[in-house]
Amino acid sequence: MAAARSIASLTVSFGLVSIPVKLFSATEASKQISFNLLHKTCGSRLKQQYTCVKEEVLVAREDMAKGFEFAKDQYVMFSPEELKAMEEVGTHMAEITEFVPLEAVDPVYFDKAYYLAPDKGGAKPYALLASALRESKRCALGRWAARGKQYIVMIRPAEDGLVMQQLLYAGEVRAMKDLEIPQTEVKPAELKLAQMLIEQQANDTFDPAQYTDEVRTRIEAAVQKKVEGQEITLAEPQEQGGGQVIDLMEALRASLEKKAAPRGKPAEPVAERKPPKRAQQEEAVAPAARKRAKKA
């Protein structure tokens, strides 16, 4: 495997301490599968072109300008120089402004993640910040300017170092209170069974290697078949179950029994169920009937 390559260098300011670090992308865009648009008749690549909706003519790139729509079909135009003047100047500095508990930042605000590694002369303060965050169970929040923009960043401890998580602004995240979620009563028995099901499937750690992208695997296999000149057999689409009305308690019990049952053996019932009234009456009558039979 090729060694990771740094995409930038910056300094993390920690009080009066400066930590020179290298920035590495935590994800690999090259691993994504993408398709190109082709001409269906000859298989050649298509080239994107822009057309003026008013004059219905093709517009060359040098004749294009950026504009902001302030009302329906009304725009204000900006020159490249005006846009450049409004950009944030990159300082190569991530300035820490506060420290908060790790759980205080809702993951819904998480955006792109970067790995941080110590640069020349930064090993000691890097290790100090990582250890301090780990021991205090806190993360650092601050600002970082790059590519003409200003970002909120969270620096958090990982198992082997530090991760700089780019965060979304408050205006970029919808409030959950805007959703219409009805208040529904949860019965104690239902809650108990749900907790039992959670405990059956609970783990103390997350292992991403347990999860594989099955769609990617199917696409790669189909691409290879196409390359080799083979035909692809299309599977019949499976019917999806509709909005079935189910008994919640029965569904929970069945889930527990399915998880608890050893292979090859039927599952034992989770909770003892009361026999039907008819069966109870038959059991009560049976002893009396046996006595009459003996007397006879």
Whether 66 is in a domain gets the answer: no
Structural domain total, the chain: 1
Q: Tell me the residue range of the domain where 13 lies.
A: 8-28+87-171
Whether 182 is in a domain gets the answer: no
Whether 276 is in a domain gets the answer: no
Amino acid at 152: I
Structure tokens at 122: 């930064």
Bridge partners for 150 per DSSP:
145
Whether 192 is in a domain gets the answer: no
Where do the DSSP E strands lie in 102-219? 110-118, 138-146, 149-157, 162-167
Whether 140 is in a domain gets the answer: yes
Whether 127 is in a domain gets the answer: yes
β-strand pairing of 110-118 with 162-167: antiparallel
pTM, to two decimals: 0.69
Q: In a 3-state reduction of DSSP, which class is residue 102?
A: helix
Three-point CA angle 160, 165, 169, nearest 5°: 165
Whether 131 is in a domain gets the answer: yes
**What CATH number is given to the structural domain containing 121?**
2.40.290.10
* Tens of pLDDT, residue by residue, the chain (296 residues): 567 789 889 999 988 889 999 999 998 766 678 899 999 999 999 998 899 988 999 999 899 999 999 999 899 999 888 888 887 666 788 999 999 999 999 999 999 999 999 999 999 999 999 999 999 999 999 999 887 789 999 999 998 899 999 999 999 999 888 899 999 999 999 999 999 989 988 899 888 888 888 888 888 888 888 888 888 777 776 666 555 556 888 888 888 887 666 554 554 554 444 444 444 444 444 455 455 544 54
Whether 142 is in a domain gets the answer: yes
